Amino acid sequence: MSLLLRPRAALGGAVLAGAVLVAVATALAVGTVPMSPLRSLPALAGAGDPADILVVQRLRGPRLVAGLLVGAALGASGCLMQTLARNRLATPGTVGIDDGATAFAVASVVGASTSLAPSAMALAGAATAAALALGLAGGAGTSGYRFVVVGLGVGAVLGAVTSLLLVRAPIDAANAAFPWTVGTLNTRPAAAVTLLGYGLAGCLPLALLIGRRLSVLRLSDSVAAGLGVRVRAVRLAALAVAVVCAGLAVAVGGPLGMVALLAPEAARRVCGPYGVPVLGSALAGAALVLLADTAGRTLAAPVEVPAGLVTAVIGGPYLLWLLLTSRPRRLP
């Protein structure tokens, strides 16, 4: 665990954990009934005004938990995907997981031949997309290039299917399916949240373990193999964990845009460029989703802006800045 002992990384981890706490406090405090932490924290434990207890335990609490779990899962998944593809822009979304989840969930909502719950369908969609991409690519391949490109194609087809479903559907059904196309914590089916909780409890330690191996893989495959890392196995395991995390997360909240891209970016900024910041990314993702959701439900109240749109609006300018300011090589 030498990586964790680096002062900067440890400090960064503490900073991110602090950010999560701030996000939690804010999420509990703001809303139609403003509540100071002095009231909300006891209420969380079941003490104080019964009205406060109701608001905190029934309304804000579950949403808070869902946000934390979704953010952590997306953050960790994004971190693994970026390291796998050796690219800061790779996310579970780029390999079609988001599109798959959306397509299946929308199919369920607009009633195209299924009566399953949208969240179960989203999970099935994510799994289908990942399996299709993996199958068509013939394995994870070197540096994940093939997998990512094929996943992109799978995502495009599923995206086209979503468009088709939305165009075919009557306007009411299309509006009902809308949250599943942008990502929100408003629906958060309890079963899906529970599943995500168990999944994350299993995957996060695994992700931390794989992350340390992956940091060697960043050099090059042959160097890593020379250092005794089983390259293919590590890569496949990382992919599996990333896909499971992302799939469970989209089953809860739909495709929350940009979280998987922004969280590892933030973690690298804060913790420094050492290793693979799986834990930092998970913390940053949790804070990000929670803050975005809180902002979404309060800023434009009584209209609720889906958290996915808030993250997209935050992440968009950052992405553009990233794309446009990288220094070009000069030639006449």
Binding stretches for another protein (CB under 8 A): 85-91, 93-94, 98, 136-138, 143, 145-146, 148-150, 152-157, 159-161, 163-164, 166-168, 171, 174-175, 178, 181-182, 257-258, 261, 305-306, 308-309, 312-313, 315-316, 319-320, 322-324, 326-329, 331-332
CB of 93 to another protein, least distance (A): 6
Q: Which is nearer to another protein, 57 or 220 (CB)?
A: 220
- CB of residue 274 to another protein, shortest distance in Å: 17
Is-cis flag, bond preceding 255, omega within 30? no
Is the Cβ–Cβ distance between 274 and 204 less than 8 Å?
no
**Which is closer to another protein, CB of 18 or CB of 138?**
138
User: How many Cβ atoms from other residues are within 10 Å of residue 250's Cβ?
Assistant: 35
The minimum distance between CB 302 and another protein, in angstroms, equals: 14
Count CB-CB contacts under 10 A for residue 290. 27
Summarize the chain as % helix, strand, coil (round to 5). 75, 0, 25
Among residues 57 and 143, whose Cβ is nearest to another protein?
Answer: 143
Q: Write down the least CB distance from residue 186 to another protein, Å.
A: 13
In whole angstroms, what is the distance from residue 107 CA to residue 105 CA?
Answer: 5
Residue with tokens 């590892």: 264
161 or 286: CB nearest another protein? 161
**Residue owning tokens 């990512």:** 148
Residue 13 CB, nearest approach to another protein (Å):
24
Of the candidates 239, 244, 208, the one whose C-alpha atom is nearest the C-alpha of residue 137 is: 239
189, 117 Cβ separation under 8 angstroms: yes
Instruction: Kindly tell me which of 113 and 327 has the beta carbon lying closer to another protein.
Output: 327
By beta-carbon proximity to another protein, the closer residue of 55 and 90 is 90
- Of the candidates 252, 291, 280, the residue with the CA atom closest to the CA atom of residue 24: 291
Q: Smallest distance from the beta carbon of 264 to another protein, in angstroms?
A: 13
